[in-house]
Amino acid sequence: MPDPAYIDAVVALGQEHGFRVRAHEPMCDHTSFRVGGPADVLADPSAPEHVRLLKSFALQAKVPFALLGAGTNVLVRDGGIRGIVCRLGPAMGHIEVDHVSHRMSVQAGALLRQVSLRAAESGISGMEWAVGIPGNVGGAVFMNAGAHGGTMADVVVSVTTLTCQCEFRTWQASELAFGYRESALQGTGDIVLEATLQLEPGSREAIERRHQEILESRRQAQPLDLPSAGSVFKRPPGDYAGRLIEAAGLKGRARVGGAMVSEKHAGFIVNTGGATAADVLALIELVQRTVRERMGVELEPEVRVMGDDSAPL
């Protein structure tokens, strides 16, 4: 367990270099599930150099270090997160468009929605599928996010990261081993800082029409009025988690505390108010067990669980 004095040292680092650092920050305010205890430190770097400073501080002080994007695919446990949570968000959300090559350079903290809208404005096609996904570019590269027939793997040319040894590295797409909701980065601890995307010329009107279709179909199909982390489980081979959960009789019925299997989309667990991470985790287990027993299929969570059960310092 690190000496809690490190918290003041990280706050001082932020003050010295001009980026925001908050101590004992409740993670329920920074995750779309709206659950989770406090992080010892939440830092919002605004430049790659700040990320390097934070990571090297953590290595030297032997303090745990975790990454967060928009917090839309994570479940933070009720005890919160010990150590530094480095969030790549709007402060590192720069988007650049090259109108000749139809490439976009996007920082990790840029929202996918913003990238998709910016491409549309520029008459560039290839990111329409991402308009309704609430995550950031960094989390989307890490997860190989996808929807409506598109994925990050289809558009990423290269990615710049900070490695575990605190060095900047450029990865070509072929090195990233993208698979279904998988990338090589899930095993390396690299921090995504920026990505270059190859898109193609398109008609602005057609792209905007596609955006409207996608947003409407998501409004119809997903419980967007309640906190969630999207689909909780990965799609099992040849099937859909939502279909299996519904067939197992759990849609809109299975509940633990404030966590419930959505009545609109059985693949979503929603926070109906006051859910704890323990409620959500117990419901995930209940769904897995029931689907295993009744449907003979093992569901694997897509949501990434972070943090501790134990109380903070």
Residues at the interface with ligand FAD (CB under 6 A): 32, 67-74, 88, 108, 133-136, 138-140, 142-143, 145-147, 185, 191-192, 222, 224, 228-230, 304
Contact criterion met (CB below 8 Å) for 275 and 259 = yes
Q: Which is nearer to ligand FAD, 136 or 288 (CB)?
A: 136
Handedness of CA 227, 142, 170, 137 (dihedral sign): negative
Nearer to ligand FAD, 10 or 70 (CB): 70
Rounded least distance, CB 99 to ligand FAD, Å: 26
Active site residue 304: no
- For residue 228, indicate whether it is catalytic: no
Based on the residue annotation, tell me whether 181 is a catalytic residue of this protein.
yes
Amino acid 6 reads: Y
Q: Which is nearer to ligand FAD, 186 or 292 (CB)?
A: 186
* Amino acid at site 31: T
Q: What angle, 0 to 180 degrees and rounded to 10, lies between the N-to-C axes of helices 6-17 and 48-61?
A: 160
User: Which one is catalytic: 22, 87, 113, 181?
Assistant: 181
User: Minimum CB separation from ligand FAD for residue 105, in Å?
Assistant: 15
Type of residue at 111: L
Whichever of 144 and 290 has its CB closer to ligand FAD, that residue is 144
Could you tell me the smallest distance in angstroms from the CB atom of residue 68 to ligand FAD?
4
The nearer residue to ligand FAD, 34 or 102, going by C-beta atoms, is 34
* Contact indicator for 109, 137 with CB cutoff of 8 Å: yes
User: What is the smallest separation between the CB atom of 74 and ligand FAD, expressed in angstroms?
Assistant: 4
Q: Which of 25, 128, 194, 302 is catalytic?
A: 302
Which residue among the candidates 158, 183, 228, 231 is catalytic per the annotation?
231
- CB of 39 vs ligand FAD, minimal distance in Å: 12
Residues involved in catalysis: 181, 231, 302
